[in-house]
A = this chain, B = another copy of it.
Amino acid sequence: MAALMESVVGRALKFSSTANFRSIRRGETPTLCIKSFSTIMSPPSKAIVYEEHGSPDSVTRLVNLPPVEVKENDVCVKMIAAPINPSDINRIEGVYPVRPPVPAVGGYEGVGEVYAVGSNVNGFSPGDWVIPSPPSSGTWQTYVVKEESVWHKIDKECPMEYAATITVNPLTALRMLEDFVNLNSGDSVVQNGATSIVGQCVIQLARLRGISTINLIRDRAGSDEAREQLKALGADEVFSESQLNVKNVKSLLGNLPEPALGFNCVGGNAASLVLKYLREGGTMVTYGGMSKKPITVSTTSFIFKDLALRGFWLQSWLSMGKVKECREMIDYLLGLARDGKLKYETELVPFEEFPVALDKALGKLGRQPKQVITF
């Protein structure tokens, strides 16, 4: 499907050079274009495209893509909502080692409604809610046409903003709790960057399993408020980094057991603090590097404390033929969201206001909720 996306975008951009784009009129309702008796065409689509790698606010632009054929095994989906994740930004910046060739449509996850199906498609009907699962590139557009195997039908009772964002962040939290250390009820985990959505999901998913969380947050305006919000989600302990300028951070553990597992999405000193908390033989999993600082580890941490350092990248995990497993977990997570057991804040932004949402996602306007574009 990546190849299809490329060819579509490629065609569109070639088209663009002839100034032959269909202009977008507000309120216009796209219609199903039928080219011939046997060919179903998608409506034309609006998409956020980047033609080169770089800062997303300078390399992305809104383009009109012409209709594409909905082949016999394809499903045409009218997107409902898609988030701007940090990984989307990194992908556009070109820092990811695996990336769709440019030009490409941005976005990697989202939720949409089936609009039309190819003649061989039986598993989907117009009106179904679907997500690309595993997620795949190109969700920042109004109509997406991909093979039916790409799509996963979901329960429409789940709030749309959770359906749009369930894979990249919540699934990362779930996998990291499952894949590295065998945790039991009564155990604890430690994490930095706890206010991130992954961090918030770790707190809630751990609590559902009876696992306590020790949460490290940055010192900044609003950290008291952040502490209360995390505690409301079920965090057992929340410390700002400055509180941890003590020789023995474990003295702050109270009755919590020393954690066997830690998560790091910050690097630098914040990663060292996670390591300090870990018990002998513990594992720290790095899944982000917000501070852009490396991780520094003493020799004795490895030899005498037997710490293990690992990494997690959802895209890599998903590439290992885990489609079925992935969809089962997504359904589990969506069920939790539907039942109010998994919560995080999102801000819905109309597609036309994409540049503002992007600025917020880039952190230009201070701390903001997860930006979710609605189409």
Which residues on A are within 8 Å of B, measured CB to CB? 95-97, 267, 285-289, 292, 294-313, 316
Contact = CB atoms under 8 A, between A and B. Distances in A.
B286 A299 contact: yes
A302 B311 contact: yes
Number of copies: 2
A305 B313 CA distance: 9
- Most chain B CB within 10 A, of A289, A296, A311, A313, is at A311
Contacts of A267: 299
B295 A296 contact: yes
Contacts of A309: 297, 302, 308-310
Contacts of A311: 301-308
A295 B294 CA distance: 10
Contacts of A95: 300
Given A306-B313, A308-B310, A309-B308, A289 B299 contact: yes
A311 B141 CA distance: 47
A314 to B, nearest CB: 10
A295 to B, nearest CB: 5
B303 A299 contact: no
Residue among A303, A304, A305 with max Cβ neighbours from chain B (10 Å): A303
Most buried by B among A97, A288, A296, A309: A309
5 interchain residue pairs of minimum CB distance: A302-B311, A289-B299, A286-B302, A309-B309, A303-B313
